[in-house]
Amino acid sequence: MYQKNKKNYVAWNILEEDFPGSGSLYDKLLFILNYAILSPSAHNTQPWLFEIKNGIIYFYIDNKRALVGSDESGRQLYESLGACLETIKIAGYYFGFEFDVLYQYNDKNKKDSNKELFCSLYAKECSIDTENIYYKLFKNITSRYSGKLKYENIEVDDKFLEEAGKLLFNFDDLNLKFVKVQGLDRNIILSAIEEGTRRAFAMQSFKNELGSWLRNNWTKKFDGMPGFTVGMPAPISLLAPKLFTLIDTSKMQISLMKEIVNSTLVIGLISGGDCKENWIKSGQLYVLVSLLSCNYEFSTHVMGAAVEFDDIAYQLSENLNINGKPLMFFRIGRQKKKFLSPRRLLTDVLI
């Protein structure tokens, strides 16, 4: 564990013993949101805001945090929201709550220039089954992290892949496929990553945005991606945000991406029809798989490059025999060091 005592990392220190069991419904729901804010999100933008009223959690999209340069369709935004929603459901269940979810992101009346209602979560008390997958995954919320470095040469357990496959049960419009990074499939995966990375780094808007969310290793900011999470030494992390925007680093990026993919034994692909509903579900499924991977001391790492461009994504699906459009591509494996990323404080995401 790293950085836990710094202010912008304290959100990770939440303790389940502090759940206000005899407190008000408001206090309980508020406590559950301490776990929501630990969800993964594209560029660690944390594009969420919350309001609690009369036993309902109003979950807003923080539009100022949308990635206009690298996520034109909004897919990554909705995947991030889906991941956060699922984390709320997992933490809620652990403390005895289920939620009826009313999606409202298509309701134009619930939108202003800064924020937009994503969904309302109606809380109801429920009995807890300790065999329920939500109950079992809860403890991993505070230890999950995106493993973005090279992985050790350790087989990904078949038992994990089998268990992860079962998580699909709740998401009937999606497919989840695991592919071993070997033989012809390795070349197919590498060429998708290479071409996706090349195209992304050819876009000035992508580079500017990436530079604006990259942080140096001593960052005091509560969001964004510190350089150490991608293996950057401290001096480089000071320069990197500017370097990305000013010079062509695509060749270096491609070789780094290829290196980390080459160290990976298994990747996961979530696919399905290309629509907002499935983007949300992909984020939900991804976070479940990611939390499950912690049980096996693995981590996961989303790589947008393989799926961001439609033609590359469809080619990947054809070559790897995948149903539907690949929506999320992630590596699974074990890296030596574990790094947490900063989080906004709960008070900063409350309305």
Ligand X SMILES: Cc1cc2nc3c(=O)[nH]c(=O)nc-3n(C[C@H](O)[C@H](O)[C@H](O)COP(=O)(O)O)c2cc1C
Binding site for ligand X (CB under 6 A): 40-44, 76, 79-80, 83, 145-146, 148, 225, 302-304, 341
Report whether 133 contacts 326 (CB < 8 A).
no
Three-class SS state of 297: coil
24 vs 73, beta carbon nearer ligand X = 73
116 vs 209, beta carbon nearer ligand X = 209
- Least Cα distance to 25 among 75, 77, 73, 96 occurs for 96
In the complex, minimum distance from the CB of residue 76 to ligand X, in angstroms, rounded to a whole number: 4
115 vs 148, beta carbon nearer ligand X = 148
In the complex, minimum distance from the CB of residue 201 to ligand X, in angstroms, rounded to a whole number: 12
52 vs 268, beta carbon nearer ligand X = 268
- Least Cα distance to 88 among 44, 134, 136, 125 occurs for 134
In the complex, minimum distance from the CB of residue 190 to ligand X, in angstroms, rounded to a whole number: 16
Which tokens is 45 given?
């933008």
Exposure string for 153-180, b = 16+ CB within 10 A, e = fewer: eeebbeebbebbeebbeebeebbbbbbe
97 vs 264, beta carbon nearer ligand X = 264
In the complex, minimum distance from the CB of residue 134 to ligand X, in angstroms, rounded to a whole number: 19
In the complex, minimum distance from the CB of residue 122 to ligand X, in angstroms, rounded to a whole number: 25
278 vs 341, beta carbon nearer ligand X = 341
Q: How many CA atoms lie within 13 A of 69 on its CB side?
A: 17
Neighbours of 309 (CB within 10 A): 16
In the complex, minimum distance from the CB of residue 130 to ligand X, in angstroms, rounded to a whole number: 26
d(CA 71, CA 79): 11
d(CA 107, CA 117): 8
Three-class SS state of 146: strand
57 vs 328, beta carbon nearer ligand X = 328
d(CA 285, CA 40): 12
95 vs 145, beta carbon nearer ligand X = 145
Assign residue 292 a region: left if phi > 0, alpha if psi is -120 to 50, beta otherwise? Answer: alpha
In the complex, minimum distance from the CB of residue 23 to ligand X, in angstroms, rounded to a whole number: 28
In the complex, minimum distance from the CB of residue 99 to ligand X, in angstroms, rounded to a whole number: 20
Assign residue 63 a region: left if phi > 0, alpha if psi is -120 to 50, beta otherwise? Answer: alpha
- Least Cα distance to 282 among 83, 71, 70 occurs for 83
